[in-house]
Structure 1
Amino acid sequence: MSLKYSCFISYCHGQGNLMKSFIDQLKRALEDYLEPWLDEKVFIDEDRLQPGYHYNDVFANAICQSICMIVVYSPKYERHSYCLREYQAMESIEKNRLELLGDKSFPGQGMIIPIIFRGEKEDIPLKFENCIHYSDFSKFTLASIDINTNPEFIIQIEKIAKYIYKCYKNLNEQTDICSECNSFKLPTDEEIQPWREQPKKQMVFPGREVRQ
């Protein structure tokens, strides 16, 4: 089994058009900027799978076969167990792969790239502090022009795309990087509980951008 996706986009589904519009544009923009470097596509939950056995298998495999994960953070993200299960699954994969790479560390911040979509300063989880950098897309609205034609947003998209490619080059040197994917499982609801109980800590907003 080999790497299949350039990134897995983890986000909290909603009934309105705001998040859907952003996710659709984000996916398209990333694929446009990654296309010269990678054949691997961006994974999102286009079928709106409901949690269950099929959901667990499909998402566990997709996360494990992804180069990186992009977390689109809004305050309700950490109130939904399926979001946190996806996040913690990639944390586990990240830990194993960094150990496999030995002293060849990822350039920047690991395999998880948070995007702040909405949230006050005090909302930002401790998970995103210090070791993980994030990008700020909080100015996106339904009135925004397309991400691909917005100069402010496209600079961040290009930085994220370049970072994903750097991660790919490191991972691609390992012949068995996806060896665990056949048996990989999402964490249970009980395993994600400690993150929910962590206190929030105020920090400067927006955070550091993804480095080139």
Structure 2
Amino acid sequence: MRELRPGVWHWRSPHPDWDEEQWWPALVSSYAIELGDDVILFDPLSVPAELRERATAVVLSAPYHERDARRLGLPVYTPPADTWQDWVEKFGIDPDRVRGMESEDLAWLRAGEGEGHFHGPGPWPFGITAYAGREDNDLVLWLPSINAIVAGDSLADFGDGLDIQLGGRKHVTRDDVVRRLRPLLDLPIELVLPAHGEPTDRAALERVLS
């Protein structure tokens, strides 16, 4: 764990579901950030004890980033999980194969186990503003109090530097995602905190979105 600046911590942990067939690296990033009186865990996995004791809530950049959210016992603020209709649109799946199915992502939270708050793009609690990435539930979270963004898989470093990641989506192109995220360049962003890859800076974001 390292403190990037006062009140902003980063650490990397091996993801328990990773294997050699995955296209993303085994180590994933998590963050703890002081926002007012709260200490928020972003996409948390293997939270250091000293931060776990201080944490007041969990924020997920995508529903499939739940990682340790369930076991932490904190309120969870998250985009909603995919529906079967989303799978049809995003991946071109035959509707008859998935009709009526439900995602396993955050099923426990949707069933009422724990305190869950589901949000899409737009204003969030804690002064956060969420921007849609490749889809409305894979987000880039703007934290104006520290001039930083926390990014889900849409904007990530899978080993070749920060870039747009489509993850097999059929309904959107790289140029589409760049256009969605380009308004970020109008913000005074200094830190870029991806869920995959090391923290980076505005220059890296400008290279991706220019």
TM-score between the two structures when normalised by the length of structure 1: 0.29
Q: Which has the higher helix share?
A: 1
Which structure ranks higher in relative contact order (CA pairs < 8 Å, sequence separation ≥ 6)?
1
